Amino acid sequence: MIKQLDTSKLRESHALGLLLIVALFHAIYNVTLQLHPDEAYYWYWSKKLQLSYYDHPPMVAYLIKIFTLFSDHEFFTRLTAVFCMTLTGWYIFKLANEVYDKDVAWLSLVSYTIIPTISMGYTIITPDAPLLMFWALSAWFSYKALFGGKWKDYLLAGVFIGAMMLSKYTSVLFLTALLLFIIIKIPRHLLQIKPWTSIILAFIIFLPAVYWNYQHDWISFSFQYKHGTSEVAKIKWNKFFEFAGGLFAIFTPIFFGILLYGSFKVKNYWNDKKRFFVAITYLFPLLFFLYKGLFKKMELNWVAVAFISGLIIFSYTVKEYKLKKTFIAGATLAVLLNLILHFPALFFLPPKMNIHNRIYGVKEAAIKAASYLEPGDLLLADHLRRAAMFSFYAGGGRQAHIPSTTRFSQYTMWDKGIDFGKVKGVFLSKRPEEKELSTIFKKVELLEEVKLKKEGLKEKTFYIYRCSN
């Protein structure tokens, strides 16, 4: 397959067609699933647009706002993810074709469409989707600018780097890798005006998030720094091996094995500037998170940006070393995992292994809670996830509030100044909350203990209270 790979008759339009087919499949599939509570949280951000938010920069909210201008249906909310992931795949294809050749580009694209983690990116809209899209766009236009020298490409690189920075703070890793590339391979560029113009433009675009943080005592910057940094410099090998092992899961075991093989085996990208550009934008974020993983638990989605360029290194390795059988085995496993991911009921998985457990139940509980609402009632919940789902599925887009103790979030900032002892409403919770609610409200009444059971999924219990003064 790889040895006889012939892409001479394939054109860019065919690549675009493949991506559109994948996008159409996911857009239709997404309608079959209720929102994940995290998605509902970001959806509600789009109802209260700000310069930034406590948890992340604002780009995900801006994009959701655009795609839900005419409807808040799951289809349109998740169309944001479909759009971002499709464009990401397209620019991975273009970069691979530019740096290597059409064979590597097509291997990259086909692999991209079957990796289960990418499929999840098509379905669940989080800040990672715009981050991946703008990372891919930034990589493409930075490459074109540095090796072509056109003002247009430098300006576009600045725009997309700025948009990437407005997507997630992980974007700083791209800027660092880009700076390292320039210092190591083309240091004279540091004396030219074009690269600096690009960087200045990026920071101008990022200024709204900086200004918001300035207004709020740098609260978001501080949160993210502490979230990803251990206060004690003590190696935690169990966390490290858990994270390192998880990399085999998100890129699939065989594919990640090929990527590691290529990372150590392929030497020519150190002597070739263009290939080194791809290599450093893959290796730097990967090694950064592996290092950080020695001291603190790292989330696997954080490292996803490394695999944008990593896919290209992977595909070149497959072609260069003619790993035909290994690739076929990896692709077969990836497709199988994708089927399990999308259609778990067909594989008779035990409930605890069914990924749909993560999204089932809150919608039904929120609708049940809404049936108890009376005029003047506030929507109340115990956590940002229940609050957001209450708003999406039962609140008509009204803001929900969190009166009980919970982790600090954007809701905490929105609720500042509210005297919950002077309001009334219906409270949705995942656990019994009478004791704490009684310290806030004069009257707390358990309206219903909702038990939900669906075949193949875990039983879930929710509690609905009426709270008043």
Task: Give the model confidence (pLDDT) of 423-433 as tens digits.
Answer: 999 999 999 99
pLDDT tens, residue by residue, 67-103: 999 999 999 999 999 999 999 999 999 999 999 999 9
Is residue 455 scored above 80 in pLDDT? yes
Alpha-helical regions (H) of 100-187: 102-114, 116-123, 128-148, 151-165, 172-185
Please check whether residue 243 is in contact with residue 302, taking contact to mean a CB–CB distance below 8 angstroms: no
Cα gap 208→216, rounded to integer Å: 12
Please check whether residue 451 is in contact with residue 350, taking contact to mean a CB–CB distance below 8 angstroms: no
Query: In the numeric block, which tokens belong to residue 261?
Result: 């093989």
Q: Which residues contact 410 (CB under 8 A, 6 or more apart)?
A: 41, 45, 53, 54, 55, 384
Please check whether residue 454 is in contact with residue 360, taking contact to mean a CB–CB distance below 8 angstroms: yes
Average pLDDT score over the chain: 93
- pLDDT score at 216: 95
CB atoms within 10 A of CB 145: 22
Of residues 297 and 139, which shows the higher confidence score? 139
In the predicted model, what is the mean pLDDT of residues 94-119?
96
| Bridge partners for 58 per DSSP | none
Is residue 178 scored above 60 in pLDDT? yes
- pLDDT score at 4: 55
In the predicted model, what is the mean pLDDT of residues 368-374?
95
pLDDT tens, residue by residue, 390-415: 999 987 889 999 999 899 999 999 99
Cα gap 395→381, rounded to integer Å: 12
pLDDT tens, residue by residue, 2-23: 555 677 778 889 999 999 999 9
Cα distance between the two ends of the chain:
72
Is residue 144 scored above 90 in pLDDT? yes
In the predicted model, what is the mean pLDDT of residues 288-302?
90
Q: Which residues contact 350 (CB under 8 A, 6 or more apart)?
A: none
Q: What is the largest CA-CA distance in the chain?
A: 76
Q: Which residues contact 149 (CB under 8 A, 6 or more apart)?
A: 194
Cα gap 219→217, rounded to integer Å: 5
User: pTM of the entire structure?
Assistant: 0.95
Q: Which long-range contacts (CB under 8 A, 24 or more apart) does 22-29 make?
A: 22/86, 22/89, 22/113, 22/122, 23/82, 23/83, 23/85, 23/86, 23/122, 26/81, 26/82, 26/85, 26/119, 26/122, 26/123, 27/75, 27/78, 27/79, 27/82, 29/123, 29/342
Q: Which residues contact 401 (CB under 8 A, 6 or more apart)?
A: 378, 379, 380, 381, 387, 411, 414, 415, 418, 420, 425
Quote the percentage of the chain above a pLDDT of 90: 80
Cα gap 178→158, rounded to integer Å: 12
CB atoms within 10 A of CB 25: 15
CB atoms within 10 A of CB 226: 11
Cα gap 151→272, rounded to integer Å: 24
- 295, 184, 290: which is closest to 246 by C-alpha? 290
Indicate the burial class of 351 (C-beta count within 10 angstroms; 0-12, 13-18, 19 or more).
Answer: middle
- pLDDT score at 230: 66
3-state helix, strand, coil in the chain (%, to 5): 65, 5, 30
In the predicted model, what is the mean pLDDT of residues 132-153?
97
Cα gap 314→254, rounded to integer Å: 11
Cα gap 347→329, rounded to integer Å: 20
pLDDT tens, residue by residue, 199-232: 999 999 999 999 999 999 999 999 988 877 766 6
Confidence tier at 114 by pLDDT (50, 70, 90): very high
Cα gap 247→293, rounded to integer Å: 12
In the predicted model, what is the mean pLDDT of residues 91-116?
96
Owner of token pair 């992340």: 56
In the predicted model, what is the mean pLDDT of residues 237-255?
90
Q: Which residues contact 391 (CB under 8 A, 6 or more apart)?
A: 40, 44, 47, 379, 397, 398, 399, 400
Please check whether residue 209 is in contact with residue 166, taking contact to mean a CB–CB distance below 8 angstroms: yes
Cα gap 52→409, rounded to integer Å: 13
Is residue 241 scored above 80 in pLDDT? yes
State whether residue 109 is helix, strand or coil: helix
- pLDDT score at 5: 64
- pLDDT score at 1: 42
- 156, 107, 141: which is closest to 316 by C-alpha? 107
